[in-house]
Chains A and B, each alone.
Chain A
């Protein structure tokens, strides 16, 4: 259950932040899956993380005009460290947990796919839309390798 990931021993601010970020992932993960269709846990986690961080950017270096190397460009555009990713992983996992239980997404073997009733249109920028589309055709190994070497 998602409460397994929720550390009640942490401060009130952490608990508030956990719920806030969790709710954002509940919003983002189905949107990402609506573009990718199906994804491994690792790819979904990394792509959702970058998509969420990109939405927080005040100004963006890249736009819909950019068509190539979007994973690398997205990584360069956002300010993240491995700690940011590891800190948000429990929140992402909790969001996935809740979404599976509410049948918004489904587990199919090693992969996760969109459930019924997921809307096709997204609320990401054209750049992030392109980035998610690019990632759906890249291998999991490549994406993880780039993330681990570039954060």
Chain B
């Protein structure tokens, strides 16, 4: 069990002041100006939040020159962990039962806090595979903190999602929470990861193979061999190398250059032809002309034949029946061929240049070196795995498509369950506040959670003589009502998350100034919701920071009074 026991403030002179917490509800009371919101933010800081670069704690009036560090004590089963952090966010220290645990960075600090949440490592792996990155409990703190600024929001109702880094992660986390194909998606993602690795290796092999083909051709031209290695005529290559070794290649260097020139010229013609082909879409006219020519020649071939005239006539019938229309061939394929042809032309031209500029190929030593390199290159080429990268790419694309389809399917049972839970929490305060009592007088009143937009949507059933019974959205513009519904969203979500042991979630809920939107008659609704949450979730802690007395909110515990600290506020060493 994860439970925050104390937060000890350490002053610049080494003095210490502890705040003690318990299971269930902890109420931090203080009039305006006692640093309740600072305390709320500081708890997040001690739980591993990244220090703000624009407003670092040591520069804030509440902290400057008075507070140096703090220690958070967390009970985990039989063990007691102490997390020490300086307020500049740079120094860390962690002790387990008074024994130091190595911790050099914020990452180590968060890793160790995360390890106390007892989430199975395979569950974290599934979470990572699904969400696409390694998410820790820090990303899930979006569900733990409800600040004053975001109170009363029903659309995108988690307050932390106003920060970009959380808003980007939230949709993926919600997809994960409300998908019934998580295991299947994780398995496919795993397979895709293996294939991506294979693809990388295959592409490397292909690059190596292209490099070796170029090298072999370069050395062959140096040895005045007219042979051109294309990657698959390996028998011919061996013969050509033997000829070079025996000096039996009768061709002259000039002939070899000429051969290359011819090849380059052919390739240049190919490039222009493909260029024209890419631009030319007049396939229908071409079909008619080509058909007429081919039919004519086949008719003459069939004329007077006994043996296979029947075969030729069948071919003619087929050709006659070909319908006009665009070719099946794709323009992309032609463009790819053009690209390949241009690369090949460039290669041939550079080979030609190299050959024309190369030193005397008759030099015996150079020939021997070239032959040595050739032997080595050929044996390397033969050892390269010639598997095909395009097939692997296609398989990865298929997997991705399947995963996207599975990810798009929401688990309606889970969505209904969380909506019911939110409504249940709201119903809990209908006895203590008129707002909720009023809402439940509407027929079929309930609050739905909408995954898209992360919204809370109250609705009721309306009876109409024309359309019969119909569920309609029921949003009454009351800030206090919305704040209560939002609080129900937080408590329901936290309960939902805590029931799933496979998620890295801190078992706590921190709420800053919840009474702000309420008048005195409706404040007790907050207590009804939070008492219900604490009753149902014994392992969770709730931290409420408020200026109203707990009894006004219907909470019967003695609060931590910030006005009674030595400094008269959250920082006990603060001097006005």
How far in angstroms is the closest Cβ of chain B from A29? 12
Decide if A149 is an interface residue (CB 8 Å cutoff): yes
Decide if B416 is an interface residue (CB 8 Å cutoff): no
Contact with A41, one of B296, B312, B348 (Cβ below 8 angstroms): B312
Decide if B465 is an interface residue (CB 8 Å cutoff): no
List 12 additional A-B contacts (Cβ < 8 Å) besides A4-B304, A75-B329.
A40-B315, A65-B388, A90-B301, A97-B307, A97-B308, A107-B310, A109-B310, A148-B286, A149-B283, A149-B327, A150-B283, A150-B327
Contact with B233, one of A58, A90, A109, A125 (Cβ below 8 angstroms): A125
5 A–B pairs (Cβ distance < 8 Å), ordered by A: A75-B329, A101-B307, A141-B322, A144-B315, A144-B318
- Contact assessment for B294 and A150 in the assembled complex, using a CB-CB cutoff below 8 Å: no
User: Which A residues are CB-close (under 8 A) to B293?
Assistant: 82-83, 86
Residues of B within 8 A of A (CB): 206, 228, 230-233, 259, 262-263, 266-267, 269-270, 273-274, 277, 283, 286-287, 289-291, 293-294, 296-298, 300-301, 303-305, 307-308, 310-312, 314-315, 318-319, 321-322, 327-330, 333-334, 337, 340-341, 344, 348, 386, 388-391
- Contact assessment for A79 and B270 in the assembled complex, using a CB-CB cutoff below 8 Å: yes
How far in angstroms is the closest Cβ of chain A from B307? 5
- Contact assessment for A59 and B267 in the assembled complex, using a CB-CB cutoff below 8 Å: yes
Decide if A122 is an interface residue (CB 8 Å cutoff): no
How far in angstroms is the closest Cβ of chain A from B14? 71
Decide if A77 is an interface residue (CB 8 Å cutoff): yes
Q: Mark A70-97, 1 if CB is under 8 A from B, else 0.
A: 0011011101001101100110010011
- Contact assessment for B263 and A89 in the assembled complex, using a CB-CB cutoff below 8 Å: no
Interface core residue of B269, B311, B337, B344 (most chain A CB under 10 Å): B311
- Contact assessment for B232 and A140 in the assembled complex, using a CB-CB cutoff below 8 Å: no
The CA of A72 and the CA of B332, in the complex, are separated in Å by 11
Given A59-B263, A125-B230: A144 and B322 within 8 A (CB)? Answer: yes
- Contact assessment for A150 and B232 in the assembled complex, using a CB-CB cutoff below 8 Å: no
- Contact assessment for A146 and B263 in the assembled complex, using a CB-CB cutoff below 8 Å: no
Which residue of A has the minimal Cβ distance to B391? A67
- Contact assessment for B390 and A68 in the assembled complex, using a CB-CB cutoff below 8 Å: yes
- Contact assessment for A76 and B274 in the assembled complex, using a CB-CB cutoff below 8 Å: yes
How far in angstroms is the closest Cβ of chain B from A104? 13
How far in angstroms is the closest Cβ of chain A from B179? 33
The CA of A59 and the CA of B303, in the complex, are separated in Å by 38
The CA of A4 and the CA of B301, in the complex, are separated in Å by 8
Given A73-B337, A141-B322, A144-B318: A112 and B311 within 8 A (CB)? Answer: yes
Interfacial residues of chain A within 90-141, with CB under 8 A of chain B in the complex: 90, 93, 96-97, 100-101, 107, 109-112, 125-127, 140-141
Which residue of B has the minimal Cβ distance to A140? B318
Which residue of B has the minimal Cβ distance to A56? B266
- Contact assessment for B322 and A67 in the assembled complex, using a CB-CB cutoff below 8 Å: no
Contact with B294, one of A60, A110, A112, A148 (Cβ below 8 angstroms): A148
Interface core residue of B267, B301, B327 (most chain A CB under 10 Å): B301
How far in angstroms is the closest Cβ of chain A from B338? 9
How far in angstroms is the closest Cβ of chain B from A92? 8
The CA of A140 and the CA of B536, in the complex, are separated in Å by 73
Which residue of A has the minimal Cβ distance to B338? A76
- Contact assessment for A76 and B267 in the assembled complex, using a CB-CB cutoff below 8 Å: no
- Contact assessment for B315 and A151 in the assembled complex, using a CB-CB cutoff below 8 Å: no
- Contact assessment for A59 and B318 in the assembled complex, using a CB-CB cutoff below 8 Å: no
- The 7 closest A-B CB pairs, nearest first, are A42-B315, A41-B311, A149-B327, A58-B263, A86-B297, A82-B290, A76-B337
